[in-house]
Amino acid sequence: MGEVRALIVTGLGINCEEETTAAFRLAGARTDTVHLNAVLFGKCSIRDYDVLTLPGGFSFGDDLGAGKALANRLRYRKLPSGRWFFDELLDFLRRGGFILGICNGFQVLVKMGLLPNVNGDYEQEVTLAANASGRFEDRWCRVRVAARDVTPFLAGTGVISLPVRHGEGRLVVRDSAVEERIVAQSLDCLSYCDASGRPTAAYPANPNGSQLNCAGLCDATGRILGLMPHPEAHLSVYNHPDWPRMRRFHPEGSEEGEGLKLFRNVVEHIKSG
> How is domain 5-272 classified at the CATH fold level?
Rossmann fold (3.40.50)
Is the Cβ–Cβ distance between 262 and 215 less than 8 Å?
A: no
Q: Which of 16, 17, 88, 103 is catalytic?
A: 103
Is the Cβ–Cβ distance between 53 and 11 less than 8 Å?
A: no
189 has catalytic annotation: no
Coil, strand or helix at 268: helix
103 has catalytic annotation: yes
> Among candidates 223, 144, 143, 211, which has minimal Cα distance to 178?
211
d(CA 74, CA 28): 28
Domain ranges of the chain: 5-272
pLDDT for position 1: 61
Tell me how far CA of residue 264 lies from CA of 31, 90, 92, 145, 258, in angstroms. Answer: 13, 24, 21, 16, 11
pLDDT in tens, the chain (273 residues): 679 999 999 999 999 999 999 999 999 999 999 999 999 999 999 999 999 999 999 998 887 788 999 999 999 999 999 999 999 999 999 999 999 999 999 999 999 999 999 999 999 999 999 999 999 999 999 999 987 789 999 999 999 999 999 999 999 999 999 999 999 999 999 999 999 999 999 999 999 999 999 999 999 999 999 999 999 999 999 999 999 998 999 998 889 999 999 999 999 999 998
Coil, strand or helix at 141: strand
Q: Which of 168, 189, 214, 230 is catalytic?
A: 230
User: How are beta strands 190-193 and 170-173 bridged, if at all?
Assistant: unpaired
166 has catalytic annotation: no
> Among candidates 101, 66, 56, which has minimal Cα distance to 233?
56
d(CA 143, CA 217): 13
Q: Which of 17, 125, 137, 232 is catalytic?
A: 232
When computed from its CA atoms, the radius of gyration of the chain, rounded to whole angstroms, is 18
Which residue type occupies 49? Answer: Y
d(CA 51, CA 44): 14
Give me the half-sphere count of Cα atoms (radius 13 Å) on the Cβ side of residue 101.
29
pLDDT for position 63: 78
